[in-house]
Chain A
Amino acid sequence: MSLADFWFILIAVLWTGYFVLEGFDFGVGILLPVLGRDDAERRTMINTIGPVWDGNEVWLLTAGGATFAAFPLWYATLFSGFYLALLLILLALIVRGVCFEFRGKVATPRWRANWDRAIFVSSALPALLWGVAFANIVRGVPVNAAGVYTGNLLTLLNWYGLLGGLVTLSLFILHGAIFLSLKTSGEIRDRSRAVALRAAVAAVPLAAVFLAVTQVAHGKAATDITAALAALALLGAVGAVFRGREGWAFAGTAITLALAVATLFGDLFPDVMPSTTSPAFSLTVTNAASGHYTLTVMTWVALIFTPVVLGYQGWTYWVFRKRLTRTDFAATGTATGEATGTAAQPVGP
């Protein structure tokens, strides 16, 4: 395995980390108006991801940075080519990031309702668009001999791309609902489970059709296996929700996302960005990669620091492993913070 191949796998791992982690953040944000019936419930939901969402988003920055360092030609073509799609994602991530911090700073119902709407939209949009983007990368886009994308935003909105978008959207909603059922207790936990089952009604067939279509058009033997396993893991996750095994269900959707990423990257290889204009113009693991020295340096950095990051992020999840409940937030109601501009004061449950 060459260093460039290793970096191709590592970038797939970074995207897996991003989709598994921020996937449930997006799901929680989308479900906020659906599941949270009052401010205390919505605060319960937001606080399940409160300590971790920012760290989760860094997986995206690291995936972007790693692509820049290891495959500069891929980074350049992809980011300039998908310009307006990425603009929408960026605007959503900007709004979403400040939502969580600013929402709790003022206690009036109108202020919070506005931020709740913003959280919903800014979570749903990237959840959809990441799927559109990845489906199009696998499908191939018009790229000329200079490595410049020659399509526009509408080029990306083909049926296969939109199907991919609906897959990530529905999978993230399912993943988020399962996460909520794992991280809360009481009524909101029961409702999360019910919503997870309803989300599964959409997610399972969409994912099955998408994976089948993908494998027919771009598949190879190895990825047929990962695609089948992804579908099995998804069914296993739904079965676990039925039986109230939330931990297993969460592991199931996480594995589904990981295997789906593995399938798409496996189908791409050795291309990183296939050109529909001419296969000769396709960017590949070899022709898009950085030099041997840069890849060697970055490999050492990644091998040393990725385990460290996984260690302390894992520890964060351990520290905040306790389930949250509506009553944690109900007592503070909407009155706290008004006078002081602060979030909740310490209160007993």
Chain B
Amino acid sequence: MSALDLSRWQFAITTIYHFIFVPLTIGLSILVACMQTAWVRTKNDSYLRMTKFFGKLLLINFAVGVVTGIVQEFQFGMNWSAYSRFVGDVFGAPLAMEALLAFFLESTFLGLWIFGWNKLPRRLHLATIWLAAIGTNLSAFFILAANSWMQHPVGYRINPVTHRAQLTSIVALLTNSTALAAWPHVIFASFVITGAVVIAASAWHLVRSSDLAVFDKAMRLGLIVTLIAGLATAVTGDIQARLMDSQQPMKMAAAEALYNTESGASFSLFTVGTLNGSKELWSVRVPYLLSLIATLDPHGTVQGINNVERAYTAKYGPGSYKPDIPVTYWSFRLMIGLGMLAVLLALAGLWLTRRGRGRVPRPRWFYRAAIWGVALPYLATTTGWIFTEMGRQPWTVFGVLKTSQSVSQGVTASSVIISMVAFTLVYAALAAIAGWLAVRHIKAGAPPEEPAPASGEPLPVFSY
């Protein structure tokens, strides 16, 4: 394999891995802040225990998210230096802003929150988790603004002297329509994951009827969060689809493996065939749905892969502009399908508890489904990223720079093999340890609050 292919694999592995930890940090930081707010306002002990229980889960998860995030920033220079050289003037700005505006906020105030229990005044301590949560969500915005620029470059020009991209409007970059749609989509999807984790952790305890005071409330919270966030993810995803249709028609066509332009195009739920446009053996189709998704009109016209290919060849010169069709086709379906299943599970949970809060005997299948169902939204976000990044190929910056032109010149394939293997092994070990710690923590449950000692200053409860 060439250094290019290896670098792509490494970027995919490290990015997908990083994004296993990011969404839970995004959502759970906010939920823990809400739990702690509820405790500060009501003085109800169960909210405090809930805060500490989910707070520790947040910290286990956050640790891996942080350290894998450093790799992300360094990789652009290490493996994609031609890309960095070409777009740094534009792309570097949101990354630097993320570090200065968001990441400092997140890291510093999370440290204050961890060690500030029993040390800071109660309301000030509450403010620290809110600031950390705001930092996390702000961080997501800058990263998505950077990614959206790759999907739909705006606010730049190509400098005629240096032949490199140059920023002309930071406002255009930060208000890119693609970013404004991607940010809420990612945030809501993160809340679906967070809700699913809260549901699964609660289900583990409820099925054993242990600690109802905490986990009955938590279950309800998880179900409601998942349902609302799931619907919002669908709505924002729908907005993204129409932007994609106008900004990246090839990606839209690849999502359906639609080879020839069609009006009133149907959407296939499932296809048996080769997806290369030659023959389709069998498929289940919903009429007009693709046109509806792409254009809001059941009879709207959706461009086909072959038609877009001809237009691109005329515009960008000879070559192939098709992404990997089976990957885009299936990742698009899996993203939507798995996400919908996660939301249906939450809906089922709410239906089963409709007669009021808690104490209602729920069927065991629901608990079992809730525990294993935690994988659904994780797989949905993973396939979502695979779709959006693979669908952009062969470009790194759509219409401006190809992936093949982006890779580092001086970095040999053997160097990339070493780093790819090293990252994969270390990440696998971390995943095993973090997963084991998280499961162990969930099973241990939320310990009762001990009264503060009569004298002396107690240690911060979360100290190392």
- Chain A positions near chain B (C-beta within 8 angstroms): 43, 46-47, 50-55, 57-58, 60-62, 64-73, 75-81, 83-84, 86-87, 90-91, 93-98, 100-106, 146-150, 290-291, 293-294, 297-298, 301-302, 305-306, 309, 312-313, 316, 319-320, 328-329, 332, 339-349
Instruction: With both chains docked as a complex, state the minimum distance between the C-beta of A82 and any C-beta of chain B, in angstroms.
Output: 8
B458 at the interface (CB under 8 A from A): yes
Assess A55 versus B415: contact at CB under 8 Å? Given A65-B92, A90-B70, A329-B459: no
Task: Collect the chain A residues with CB atoms within 8 Å of residue B66's CB.
Answer: 54, 97
Contact size range, B: 35 or more
Q: Give the number of A-B contacts (CB < 8 Å).
A: 279
Cross-chain pairs A/B with CB under 8 angstroms, 15 sampled: A50-B463, A65-B100, A80-B77, A95-B67, A102-B63, A102-B434, A103-B464, A148-B410, A294-B167, A301-B97, A305-B100, A320-B119, A346-B461, A347-B459, A349-B456
Q: Which residue of A lies closest to B115 (CB)?
A: A51
The reply to whether A77 and B96 form a contact with Cβ atoms under 8 Å apart is no
The reply to whether B464 and A100 form a contact with Cβ atoms under 8 Å apart is yes
The reply to whether B410 and A97 form a contact with Cβ atoms under 8 Å apart is no
Q: Which residue of A lies closest to B167 (CB)?
A: A294
- With beta carbons under 8 angstroms apart, the residue of B164, B167, B426 that contacts A95 is B426
Q: Which of A69, A73, A81, A306 has the most CB of B within 10 A?
A: A69
Closest 8 CB pairs of A and B: A72-B88, A79-B77, A69-B92, A346-B458, A68-B92, A348-B456, A80-B81, A65-B96
B2 at the interface (CB under 8 A from A): no
Instruction: With both chains docked as a complex, state the minimum distance between the C-beta of B210 and any C-beta of chain A, in angstroms.
Output: 13
- With beta carbons under 8 angstroms apart, the residue of A51, A62, A102, A301 that contacts B437 is A102
The reply to whether A291 and B167 form a contact with Cβ atoms under 8 Å apart is yes
- With beta carbons under 8 angstroms apart, the residue of B56, B96, B410, B440 that contacts A66 is B96
Q: Which residue of A lies closest to B84 (CB)?
A: A76
Assess A79 versus B107: contact at CB under 8 Å? Given A148-B409, A297-B93, A301-B101: no
- With beta carbons under 8 angstroms apart, the residue of B90, B422, B459 that contacts A328 is B459
The reply to whether B166 and A344 form a contact with Cβ atoms under 8 Å apart is no
Of B177-185, B228-236, B314-322, B445-453, the one contacting chain A is B445-453
Task: Collect the chain B residues with CB atoms within 8 Å of residue A66's CB.
Answer: 96, 99-100
Instruction: With both chains docked as a complex, state the minimum distance between the C-beta of B4 and any C-beta of chain A, in angstroms.
Output: 13
Assess A72 versus B74: contact at CB under 8 Å? Given A297-B93, A340-B447: no
Task: Collect the chain B residues with CB atoms within 8 Å of residue A67's CB.
Answer: 92
Assess A76 versus B166: contact at CB under 8 Å? Given A290-B92, A309-B104, A346-B450: no
Task: Collect the chain B residues with CB atoms within 8 Å of residue A53's CB.
Answer: 111
Instruction: With both chains docked as a complex, state the minimum distance between the C-beta of A167 and any C-beta of chain B, in angstroms.
Output: 23
Task: Collect the chain A residues with CB atoms within 8 Å of residue B96's CB.
Answer: 62, 65-66, 68-70, 298, 301
Q: Which of B68, B459, B462 has the most CB of A within 10 A?
A: B459
Q: Which residue of B lies closest to A100 (CB)?
A: B464
The reply to whether A68 and B76 form a contact with Cβ atoms under 8 Å apart is yes
The reply to whether A70 and B108 form a contact with Cβ atoms under 8 Å apart is no
- With beta carbons under 8 angstroms apart, the residue of A73, A102, A345 that contacts B433 is A102
B441 at the interface (CB under 8 A from A): yes
Instruction: With both chains docked as a complex, state the minimum distance between the C-beta of A115 and any C-beta of chain B, in angstroms.
Output: 10
